[in-house]
Amino acid sequence: MNDHSTEQPAETVARLRATFRSGRTQPVEWRTAQLRRLREMLTTHGADLAEALHADLGKSSTEAFRTEIDFTIREIDHTLEHLADWLRPEPAPVPAHLGADATARTQYDPLGVVLVIAPWNYPVQLLLTPLLGALASGNAVVVKPSEMAPATSAALARLLPRHLDTDAVAVVEGAVPETTALLAERFDHIFYTGNGTVGRIVMRAAAEHLTPVTLELGGKSPAFVDRGADLSVVADRLVRGKFLNAGQTCVAPDYVLTDPETARALEPEFARAVEAVFGADPQSSREFGRIVNERHFDRLGSLLGSGRTVTGGHTDRATKYIAPTVLADVDPKAPVMQEEIFGPILPVVTVADLDEAIAFINDRDKPLALYAFTESDHTRERLAAETSSGGLGFGLPLAHLTVSDLPFGGVGESGMGSYHGRYSIETFSHRKAVLSKPLG
């Protein structure tokens, strides 16, 4: 294994581009070998990565494997099983004026050198899942782990070069200066997961080279609770979805929309569900994480006064702990409703009915996800037809992103482009049109 640790970004990109142009990454055999090596890294060093995730975010080993390590392994396995079929050229009908001997097809071509910029909240999964899609598509890849998860960044920078082709995959650690230097280079695709502010910076940099981008952003994902829903089940599923990773999940339910009567009935159910999942003292629970840093802790702490506390509200700055908190009587103009929360605070906002809920959702930026708890087919049909979101989940939050055959991505302010499964091949490839007509 060669040591490329002293390379400048321009040298790294040039080296990887030379590898790509040599044709080395094109064969399916090379691609599948890289995926198998990546899988081996995860199975061999899963405990090391889980330890790093605990150091950065307080994640339990159970959560680290379920949401990051095993999640990525399943995505690798799904890709290995179907890659040959996904890459198979697809014939296209040819119009009669071109003659009966003309043929047409589409084929997937790798793009070249791809840049993947990962966030800190799921620093393993959200770096490796785009990476495996880019490798499966036959690209060379530069990956940039998040400096806000330093233990995980260091672990990935140590492990990836041991397992993958270092002439085709490079890890660049660092913060804003290193990212800025990378963005000054010409890539063939940039895949960024994070917030809209940085997403705009990425797009501006990409525009200098007309580089296509995929932006996986976030936003305030609503959860609508219909009259008559089983509130015990609703509360349990919302608590598990919202407070996973201490609420630091881009597709977590950001706030609840429901009518006043249902909102009141939900309050004791939320308190019961929090205790059932995390115990009477969530601070001592091994399954409840911590806020990533003091800046985000202070930001979240300032939002706790946005409503009446139903459960939670306790904080400990020394350990960056914020209890799983539900707020009632929240005004839509309250601070907690002005930005994506990205933490363990769940506000409940009341609306008169479904019409007002749909209007409330549509008056705001398009969310990354919309969740609804209802047994009404009519309500489901209206939400599907009359709202726009990156994903739509009925009865269970977060679960749609675990289905490899569904595209995962946002719309509008919540992002552009999608990935997972065959949608990663579409993102990291060019579908080329090929027409053939004999000279005779």
pLDDT greater than 90 at residue 4: no
pLDDT per residue as tens digits for the range 267-296: 999 999 999 999 999 999 999 999 999 999
Bridge partners of 103, per DSSP, are: 436
Integer angstrom CA distances of residue 168 from 71, 161, 182, 288, 349: 24, 10, 16, 38, 49
* Residue 109: count of CB within 10 angstroms of its CB: 13
CA distances to 30, 123, 408, 418 from 193, in Å: 27, 10, 12, 11
Torsion of CA 341, 330, 221, 62, to 10 degrees: 60
User: What's the pLDDT at 3?
Assistant: 66
C-beta of residue 439 within 8 angstroms of C-beta of residue 236: no
98 CB-near residues (< 8 Å, 6+ apart):
435, 437
Number of H helices, E strands in the chain: 14, 20
Q: Which residues are catalytic?
A: 216, 250
In the chain, CATH 3.40.605.10 sits at 9-217+410-436
Using CA of residue 277, residue 280, residue 281, residue 285, what is the dihedral sign?
A: negative
* Both tokens assigned to 372: 């609804």
SS3 318: coil
- DSSP letters of 273-291? HHHHHH-S-GGG-TT----
**pLDDT for 75-130, tens place per residue?**
999 999 999 999 999 999 999 999 999 999 999 999 999 999 999 999 999 999 99
Predicted local confidence at residue 419, as pLDDT: 98
d(CA 9, CA 7): 6
3-class SS string, 113-181:
EEEEECCCCCCCHHHHHHHHHHHHCCCEEEEECCCCCHHHHHHHHHHHHHHCCCCCEEECCCCHHHHHH
Residue pair 347/337 in contact (Cβ under 8 Å)? The answer is: yes
CB atoms near residue 139 (< 10 Å) = 26
Average pLDDT over residues 182-188: 97
Q: Residue 207, CB half-sphere, CA atoms under 13 Å: how many?
A: 6
Residue of 77, 15, 136 lying closest to 428 (CA atoms): 136
Short-list 138, 111, 141, CA closest to 128:
141
C-alpha to C-alpha distance for 21 and 113, rounded to whole angstroms:
10
User: Looking at residue 26, what is its pLDDT?
Assistant: 97
Rounded to an integer, the average pLDDT of 212-231 is 97
If you average pLDDT over residues 235-244, what whole number do you get? 98
Q: How far apart are CA 260 and CA 382, in angstroms?
A: 21
pLDDT value of position 440: 78
**Mean pLDDT of all residues in the chain?**
97
pTM comes to 0.96
Q: Does residue 57 carry a pLDDT above 70?
A: yes
Give the closest residue to 136 by CA, choosing from 35, 221, 38, 51: 35
222-402: CATH topology is: Aldehyde Dehydrogenase; Chain A, domain 2 (3.40.309)
pLDDT digits (tens, 9 = 90+) for 317-353: 999 999 999 999 999 999 999 999 999 999 999 999 9
CATH classification number, 9-217+410-436, choose in 2.40.30.10, 3.40.440.10, 3.40.605.10, 3.20.20.105: 3.40.605.10
Mean pLDDT of 121-144: 98
Mean pLDDT within 405-421: 97
The amino acid present at 341, given as its one-letter code, is I
Closest CA to 387 of 410, 417, 358: 358
Which residue's entry shows tokens 């890709």? Answer: 79
Work out the percent of the chain whose per-residue pLDDT is above 70: 99
More confident: 4 or 214 = 214
- In terms of Cβ atoms closer than 10 Å to its own Cβ (0-12, 13-18, 19+), residue 52 is buried
Instruction: Summarize the confidence of residues 37-65 as an average pLDDT.
Output: 98
| pLDDT tens, residue by residue, 355-402 | 999 999 999 999 999 999 999 999 999 999 999 999 999 999 999 999
Environment class of 248 (CB within 10 Å of its CB; exposed 0-12, middle 13-18, buried 19+): buried
Confidence check: pLDDT of 6 > 70: yes
